[in-house]
Structure 1
């Protein structure tokens, strides 16, 4: 039987569901979705998409372990499934979900010569003391939290085992967009802030505890989920193997984001700077910005949506939910 199925793990998540939507727009509905829906509202992300079949993660792992014949139909893999909570403290859980599961899938893909894309993270860069260069050696990186370390472990494993040049690894920076409502405290500030501004007319931002950064002037490389999806599909479909930063290469402040949100909602800017939880103070990134030379050299042709336009579109979609 000819291979035809696209496997998308984490297919009900923010990036995964957008990738499926874009694959649908490209005429592909031969998609196998894997996720863990649990009691969240994540299932709603599947409603807008078309696919052949769905498996819970545990069931799919059993298919992998038994070498089920369905696996012979897989032609490419987008592995977005993981625990994405940067505040998760259960290291055993993170190792199992973010490291061992990725190892198992990658080894399967390499053994069958199946194109494989996986989600690493900008969290692997820690405080950025070694920069944000995806061409630099990864061995010295020191993530600030266990989530980042669980992602770093697989990057290191792939390099050590000599398979990194047979995979597409993506260090996503601050991705936001429609389809993240299920993420609880890990939702982007755009969604949290939309609710705050809608309900109170005010947005809360963390104070700064470093003198070189004023309150709200901490910086992030914000990336719209539609752009994250386009980049992901391009790199895998064009077989551009390697480990890449996925951002815009532009660092903007939380105040910039706040201004974009108030503008999108047609309300006057009203920001309150609040204390950061003690549990975050030593694990908080004050600056992230993707160095983009490596991905630019692949010939990626589509460009990126600026912050104000992406926030405006996202807010419009949120408003449409309530009308």
Structure 2
């Protein structure tokens, strides 16, 4: 049996779908479907059962057998809003919840692969898995960072696999429910279809118009890394999960425009870019550059190439536009 928390969310649902493609249907999805629209993400998936996140947590605490015969928990569930400032809620949901699952997995010898976040680096300009570079700027980043710290503090006692993934800018299928938190590729696609224009920020932080840079990582690669570690149970640790190569927002917009420009008539759209003045409220509080140092990931043995922005965006546009 496999458990995926956050299994109706973005990365979780992609893990579930890929497991299905590999022949696994003995999957329990754990999530919070208060936003019922998220069910779309798993409506084409085959699972053994669904559990509400609070019910699941109580059953784990009661040790009622819910974890019997479980091989791995992919713990993707969390409140991921960077604008949520209710610290009590965030720490209960992201930190304490994760601790309960971690200890339950250790007690039963279950692999525990969990979602950390590149937000732990916050104001840093070096993105390497070391304490000196970790400077979260919001309570979401703090909740993820503090759990990483907890894992580090007990790593010498671990008896089964524990892996944390610091996700960088993930984009791809099954993210539509995230609204404003969806990737720029998603928003550029909608903008282009609405009025033929991709809107980008003007220059800021020493970067030209649309030249602010991110480590954009395609969700299919994120899933591949998760499953590779599961199949290599001797590997534990906390790892950056990005491509290791930043690209600009212009690159993303150009890829979306190119995809739409290569469609047959009448679907073809001749798009263009438009730059908006950089917002005053974001000046001094905006990361103009992120790039994962993936040397630890490579040292662990993961050697597959990552999709470039154009490769990933083209695959995403195929899926998003049917």
Q: TM-score, normalised by structure 2?
A: 0.92
Q: Which residue of 2 aligns with 1:182?
A: 177
Instruction: Point out the more displaced range, 227-236 or 81-90.
Output: 81-90
Q: Per the alignment, in what secondary structure is the counterpart of residue 127 of structure 1?
A: coil
Q: Whole-Å Cα distance in 1 between the matches of residues 88 and 284 of structure 2?
A: 22
Deviation string, structure 1 residues 180-224 (Cα, Å, up to 9, x no partner): 0111111111111111110011111123332x2112111101111
Contact in 2 for aligned 1:190/1:311 (Cα 8 Å): yes
- After TM superposition, the structure 1 = structure 2 runs for residues 151-300 of structure 1, keeping only pairs within 5 Å, are 151-162=144-155, 166-210=161-205, 212-239=206-233, 240-266=235-261, 267-300=269-302
Q: 1:145 to 1:63 in 2, by over 3 A?
A: same
Please report the RMSD computed on the Cα atoms of aligned residues, expressed in angstroms. Answer: 1.7
- After TM superposition, the structure 1 = structure 2 runs for residues 1-323 of structure 1, keeping only pairs within 5 Å, are 5-129=1-125, 131-134=126-129, 137-138=130-131, 141-162=134-155, 166-210=161-205, 212-239=206-233, 240-266=235-261, 267-320=269-322
Q: Whole-Å Cα distance in 2 between the matches of residues 102 and 283 of structure 1?
A: 29
Q: Per the alignment, in what secondary structure is the counterpart of residue 297 of structure 1?
A: helix
Q: 1:140 to 1:260 in 2, by over 3 A?
A: closer
Q: TM-score, normalised by structure 1?
A: 0.91
Q: Whole-Å Cα distance in 2 between the matches of residues 94 and 163 of structure 1?
A: 27
Q: Whole-Å Cα distance in 1 between the matches of residues 287 and 152 of structure 2?
A: 26
Q: Whole-Å Cα distance in 1 between the matches of residues 25 and 317 of structure 2?
A: 28
Q: Whole-Å Cα distance in 1 between the matches of residues 139 and 276 of structure 2?
A: 25
Query: What are structure 1's unaligned runs of at least 5 residues?
Result: none
Contact in 1 for aligned 2:204/2:288 (Cα 8 Å): no
